[in-house]
Amino acid sequence: MKEILVDNKKKFYSKLFLYKTFLYKRVMFKSSLDDEELQGIITALNIKKKSKRIEYIYDYSCNRIDKFYKGKNMCQFKDGQCINHQYPGCNIKNGCCRICINQSETGCKTSNLSCKLFYCDNVKKNNETIKFKDMKIFKLLTFRQRIIILDNFFANREEFLKELKLGLLVYHSLMIVYRLMRSSIILRKRRTS
């Protein structure tokens, strides 16, 4: 297999749109540059099976975001209430996760990339956050896959990956509606049982 040595980050990033295509299926990328993000992208490019590459990009991105926020209480939760709901008379708990069936006593039961990239304006105005555009690895995905990442809240990891692998926006839209209906039915049942 042919090998490409990456020693110029700018040049490498400007050619990602090409490197991710089938034209580079028989090329392995290598770099000795000490750059975690670059090494992540190279690892992804060296995974030649499409579905496996998507899984890697997904898990790599989730881990990178988790690492960035580790130990930070971004939403300033106190007694189950986030900063937006800490006012007299408000009994809303669990912030954005309150209408999702993936929430549990110990937090989120899954790993959702859209949720990890989301913070409301109240949090964003006072904190440094990771934005979609900060994730260079997303350049390895198609336009439709990037659209899916923007708003795929409430999906569990497996559902999310299935949508990314299919890359069909119609299916993605139907799944959003399906999940909202599923959540409302399941949460209502939980409340009344």
Residues that bind ligand SF4 in the complex, under the rule CB under 6 A: 75, 82-84, 95-97, 100, 102-103, 108, 110, 112, 115, 119-120, 122-123, 153-154
Are 45 and 57 contacting, i.e. CB atoms less than 8 angstroms apart?
Answer: no
Q: How far is the CB of 160 from ligand SF4 (least distance, A)?
A: 9
Q: Which is nearer to ligand SF4, 24 or 77 (CB)?
A: 77
- For helices 169-192 and 157-166, angle between their N-to-C axes, nearest 10 degrees: 160
Residue 105 to residue 113: CA distance in whole angstroms: 20
CA 23 – CA 67 distance, rounded (Å): 33
Nearest approach, Cβ of residue 16 and ligand SF4 (Å): 28
Helix, strand, coil content of the chain in percent (nearest 5): 60, 5, 35
A 10 A CB-CB count for 24 gives 17
Using the minimum distance from each CB to ligand SF4, give the nearer residue, 75 or 141. 75
Residue 95 vs 167, nearer CB to ligand SF4: 95
**31 vs 84, which CB is nearer to ligand SF4?**
84
Nearer to ligand SF4, 97 or 141 (CB): 97
**CB of residue 99 vs ligand SF4: minimum separation in angstroms?**
8
Rounded Cα distance, 49 and 26, in Å: 12
Measured CA distances, 28 to 32, 42, 135, 140 (Å): 14, 9, 22, 15
> How far apart are CB 137 and ligand SF4 at their closest, in Å?
20
In angstroms, give the least distance from the CB of 93 to ligand SF4: 10
